[in-house]
Amino acid sequence: MSSMKTTTRAMTENKRHHPRVANERRKGGRREKSNSFVQRVSILDDADTEENEQLDELVSRRIKKSRSTGRLDLTGLDLTEFPMEIFDVTNDDAPLTDLQISNNRIYHIPDEIGDLQLLERLGLAGNRLTKLPESVGKLKRLQGLWAHGNLLKSLPESICSCQSLRNLSVAGNRIRKLPENLSQLVALEELSVPGNQLLELPNLGKMFNLSDIDLHGNCIEDLSANGNDFQFLKALETFSLQGNRLKSIPGSLGNLKRLRSLNLAENRIQQVPEELRNLPVLTSVWLYSNDLRSLPKELQKSQSLRQLWIENNENLDKSELEAFIQNMKDARMLKTLGIDTEQARKIGGGFENMSAITVAEVPNRSDNAGYFKLVKWDGNRSALDDSKRAPVLIVSFGSAPGVPNWGGLLKKLRKRVGESEGKSYDVLYVCDVERSWYAGNKMTGNVEDEVSKRSKRLEDICSKYSKVLYLGDSMGATASLAFAEHATRVLAFCPQVDLFAASIRPSRSANWMRQYKTLLLQGALKSGADITIHTGSWTHDVDQASIVVYASEKQAEDAATKRKKRIKTKMHPVNNHRLALVLSDGDELVNIVKEAFETEYVNAIASGSGMEKNSAATLKLLGLA
């Protein structure tokens, strides 16, 4: 037990500084009759000793239980060392098939991990790992490896011997190159490597079972490198390459006959191959924020394409846009063709007779600070009139996948608030394709400078509205708190506040994460917004929310504080980090957002702003009708 005691001692040291624990101890200290410093230190030492013993017992109990179940969960215990007791097994013990040790502070995985040869699932996410041992290649039955949110610079070549591997997730690391023989993982179904530093792909060869590839937020320049022609990826359905450095797309993508979703947004692509028309089930294509000079007119022959976005391609001239739109009128399945206001102005009224076209504003087009798209309530009717704005702006922050969130819910909300009564809102979609928690990946070390560009863009847009409602989930919720000074109301669902303690996080140093936490708290505390942090019952998410609440309460205790901060939490009986998704299955989520919107709408109208000041809806909401 000696190594376990060393490990849990570090756990206690980390827990000592957690705001919720500190607050409990502070309250406990008030009950003591003596205020002497020595006595208070003695109380803390006794508490630490008790915590050490409890944590030792907890880890030991879970390891012992795994001897009969074959499953061991040591997630979120602040472990700093891998417990070697895991390997003390006998012939009478059930073989370990599932090991989850994510969300700790482990720096090293021992070579003995290869001795767990019946292991099927291995969770290592959210630690401080810089490498994986070569012995991982001995795990012949391993089906899932989750190592996102670490500091990995590469993967061992031996991992290509894990012939049963179906899911490989290494998002949010510092990987520049994948193993050369990756194609030997013939059972692999999902390859998730977003938010790394990949320069190219190895030859993917005959990975017949690969159905999902996510590479957004890397540095890939050439998809054809190493002889990739994609002709054997027979099962591939989703392919995300958003936010790389691609200048061209090979026609060999036309070999992906089962491809449904292709995300090529935020690259440097100048031309899209006509071969995309050959993809029989392709439904969604993202081409926004590129350097396109021409558009694939043959796409109008597609029998399946339903959604296509081409906003923020400044080099598309009038004739190219007009010809493309004219051709796409024959695309029978097309439901959405997204263009921006500048493109709409180029073609004049050429889009008015095509119902699929949606026009959005892309503010500050020349400022490359991520995805910003403003969609007005009246859609195409007011898109080109900057003076027409709804009373309330809803800002939707995207989470780690790097694509716009909340679109479906906001369409549902639109029906709920009653279009006929005049209530309205504009929507600003904001995304961070770099998976950097809205700080960018320039690695300057100055967190404030890194986030200031997005903050300024938000301020420029939000300042045009009297009331601004933020929505964010997970990474998006973190952004909603960091930039809260530009909002009047915030709904944050399961934010990461202390990134060092989170399993979903960027691959940054501990010092950077501490600075980010400070900046986030400053943003939330100096805001005048009403902030509600929604969490489930998962302890990790509750602890993260408590950091903000504790900081708010501490500030409110300061005699110099002129007003009490309006930050509160709401816990839901859901033991899941994806709380917003769970709540969206019924009406609970849309009702939460509806209540928040209507409050801001009433406030906006009462303050004399908005287009519908004298509408029937306004009078009804204000109790005057």
For residues 188 and 418, which has the higher predicted lDDT (pLDDT)? 188
Q: Look at residue 580 and give its three-state secondary structure.
A: helix
Which two structure tokens, joined as six digits, stand for 301? 């022959």
Q: Are the C-beta atoms of residues 84 and 60 closer than 8 Å to each other?
A: no
| Better-predicted residue by pLDDT, 155 or 26 | 155
List CB contacts of 281: < 8 A, sequence separation 6 or more.
257, 258, 259, 260, 304
Does 10 score more than 50 pLDDT? no
In this predicted model, which residue has the larger pLDDT, 109 or 559? 109
Beta bridge partners of 397: 430, 472
C-alpha to C-alpha distance for 557 and 564, rounded to whole angstroms: 9
H or E segment to which residue 240 belongs: strand 238-240
SS3 category, 534: strand
Reported as a pLDDT band with limits 50, 70 and 90, residue 611 is very low
Q: What percent of the chain has pLDDT over 70?
A: 84
Instruction: Work out the pLDDT band at 169, boundaries 50, 70, 90.
Output: very high
CB neighbour list of residue 602: distance below 8 Å, 6 or more residues apart: 618, 621, 622
pLDDT (average), residues 308-312: 94
Q: Mean of the per-residue pLDDT values for the chain? A: 85
Q: Can you give the pLDDT at residue 13?
A: 37
* Mean pLDDT value across residues 31-40: 43
- Gyration radius from the chain CA atoms: 26
Q: How would you write 257-299 as a 3-class SS string?
A: CCCCEEECCCCCCCCCCHHHHHCCCCCEEECCCCCCCCCCHHH
Spell out the domains of the chain, with CATH numbers in brackets.
Answer: 371-621 (3.40.50.1820)
Cα–Cα dist 492/471, whole Å: 6
Percentage of the chain modeled with pLDDT above 90: 60
Q: What contacts 520, CB < 8 A, 6 or more positions away?
A: 478, 481, 482, 497
pLDDT, average across residues 377-390: 82
**Least confident range of 26-35, 155-164, 365-374, 532-541:** 26-35
Higher pLDDT: 442 or 103? It is 103
Span 489-504, mean pLDDT? 92
Q: What is the pTM of this model?
A: 0.85
The conformation of residue 195, written as its DSSP 8-state character, comes to S
Average pLDDT over residues 185-198: 96
More reliable by pLDDT, 455 or 89: 455
User: For the residues 135-144, what does the mean pLDDT come to?
Assistant: 97
Q: Which residue has the higher pLDDT, 624 or 366?
A: 366
Res 1 pLDDT > 60: no
Q: Which of 180-194, 268-282, 470-484, 603-617 has the lowest mean pLDDT?
A: 603-617
Q: Any idea which of 130-134, 165-169, 522-526 has the lowest mean pLDDT? A: 522-526
Give the whole-angstrom CA distance, residue 371 versus residue 453: 12
Strand partners, 493: 473, 534
Confidence of residue 445 (pLDDT cuts 50, 70, 90): low
Q: Specify the 3-state DSSP secondary structure of 621.
A: helix
Cα dist from 186 to 114, 171, 204, whole Å: 21, 21, 10
In whole angstroms, what is the distance from residue 289 CA to residue 338 CA?
Answer: 12
| Alpha helix segments (H runs only) across 558-587 | 579-584
List, for residues 388-408, the tens digit of each pLDDT value. Answer: 899 999 999 999 887 778 888
pLDDT at 562 over 70: no
CA distance 583 to 593: 11
Q: Which residues, including other chains, have CB under 8 Å from residue 581's CB and lie 6 or more apart?
A: 473
Three-state secondary structure readout of 35-97: CCHHHHHHHHHHHHHHHHHHHHHHHHHHHHHHHHHCEEECCCCCCCCCCHHHHCCCCCCCCCC
pLDDT digits (tens, 9 = 90+) for 220-256: 999 999 999 888 899 999 999 999 999 999 998 998 9
Residue of higher predicted confidence among 616 and 188: 188
pLDDT exceeds 60 at position 39: no
The count of other CB atoms within 10 Å of the CB of residue 29 is: 14
594 vs 565: CA distance, rounded Å: 23
